[in-house]
Chain A
Amino acid sequence: MLVFEKSRPGRGCSMLPACDVEIVLPKEKDKRELALHMPELSENELSRHYTELAKKSHGVNDGFYPLGSCTMKYNPKINEDMAALPGFTEVHPLQPAHTVQGCMEVMKETEEYLCEITGMDHMTFQPAAGAHGEFTGLLLIKAYHESRGDKKRTKIIVPDSAHGTNPASAVMAGYSVVSIPSGEDGCVDLEKLRAVAGDDIAGLMLTNPNTVGLFDKNILEITNIVHGCGGLCYYDGANLNAVMGTVRPGDMGFDVIHLNLHKTFSTPHGGGGPGSGPVGCKECLTEFLPSVLVEGEETLSFVKSEHSIGEMKSFYGNFLVVVRALTYLKTLGREGIPKASQNAVLNANYMMNKLKDLYTMAYDEVCMHEFVMSLSDLKKKTGVSAMDIAKGLLDNGIHPPTMYFPLIVDEALMVEPTETESRETLDEAIQVFRNLYEMAEKEAESLHAAPVTTPVTRLDEVGAARHPVLRYQFS
């Protein structure tokens, strides 16, 4: 039941004292006439309402969450405690510099950690999410070419395996997209890349490991080709959890990157944000970074470059998310960061190896932090689709892998276990996957009907889009 349906006139919570100065009301011409319909509930009713909603939600805390490309690792509790310190939450963003030295220190120290991990020279925390970071990074590339008077570069190369945000961000930055097909091995097809690399190319957007979970071994050749035609290389950091301490984007030839602190650096995703998408770059792009950077040793201050692309949003980004990430970085440190990546890769390979006799792997090679299965054989044989298996997982308390992505794999399920899952959890999940396979062969119908144990069964998405009901209508 919606909170509005629980509302009873006259109920409510008492929050504010009486006004201690003379009341001033807006003049008639500016006075609100539309009635408000906020719910009227006692605090007990309100609290129970949200507890009920929480019960109908599945977070990392509820169980295994191998959602590929989203790095659903455990969110440490100390991160939350530190982000709730009044010394961070009660600070106004426009306070004088000498009263916010701690906030500046958070930004500077996190920048130092993350630049070393990625091989970049500077980093901005203003972008609020990964896609926002992509847009920012592309604007840096645009500003770079424009500063050199180079106006002919109007295209960004994006592999067909890329996240959907890549081409969408390129268009927001005013570029047209050149999509290049992946090779049979799921990696960049060097010949296809060479064929499009010309003086109209502003840059390339790439993840490595790529979206099929493989490390592209030709990475130096790839970035060389792009640099050779005068373009820059953008690293989509969505998959950084595979390579921390092993490989740095900066050493692979990337000039600009974004990270997802809400993936790789353990900050919770909150059911769809707030995230944080810091953008790091090499020296050649630093002068174009948005907003301010922190400088100084003893006394810190904000500095803004005169060639900055401007502001990407208000203030300094999703600051409390950065506080959480710094807490995590300090905890793991020099040994823990590479270990996290190693175990993420181990867990993925472990699961893949224990499933590949039954399920068809899209690419049967050593994978990185995630692997992609194609259920197209199973579907042909039994009629059970990737969607059906995913829904079957729901009845077993497991959040399904990412479905139908990347687009280059038919009936794809993309599995990313992360390093914070124990062997027992992986073994249980492997067993569930195997049971579902068996079920597909023996009783396909029951998988078409799954899930049956969840608060609702499969929902009519077509109807929802055809006859949109996007809000409650008050009578």
Chain B
Amino acid sequence: MMWLTADESEALRLSLSIAARSVAFNLPAAILIAWVLTRVRFVGRTLLDALVHLPLVLPPVVVGYVLLLLFGTRGFIGSWLQHAFVIQLVFTRNGAALATAVMSFPLMVRAMRISLENVDRGLEDAARTLGARAADRFATITLPLMLPGIIAGVITAFSAALGEFGAVITFVSNIPGETRTLPLALYTALQSPGGEHAAARLAGLSLGLGLGGLLLSEWFARRVRRMLGR
């Protein structure tokens, strides 16, 4: 990328890589949770629903702090990961992916739930009478019909992951080349004297990414709608 400086392209690559990891990590879990919340009636469903949505209403710093408590080197899960698998999350890009994953998870679940609620249960019944068992029905009917929601969820979550700031900086700090994503680079530029020009360029880059994401999302949605005949 000729028109970007080395620092800028590093922040961009890091942002894309972290966002992609968080989306990949979230996708199966979000489909499962969306399905459970829409289709299964159980005690504690409201609580699960609230827990999933919590990152939307909490200050991101709180999420970062809680992650630090759990996944820090002396944290409950963090120390176990360190000993069992020699995995460290604090101050690493994997940690940044975890923080963005937690923050963008509710967005993904919400988009999927809306589209799952719109899936005609009659079509699943029809598939049953045609001999399709549960897993078969889910893979061949439910999943394709909720595809618009899955695509919308992935793109929204990816875009949100690109811009996640508070939870990332709290949990994994602001390390160039490791956790300094676009928003963190922009923040750093603003903090340094004479960084206005660099900040403006980074802001423009974020703007372009966001706009591109939205347009891509709309294009996908249209294609899928046509495929489903709506």
Indicate whether A and B interact: no
Q: Which residues of A contact B (CB under 8 A)?
A: none
Q: Which residues of B contact A (CB under 8 A)?
A: none
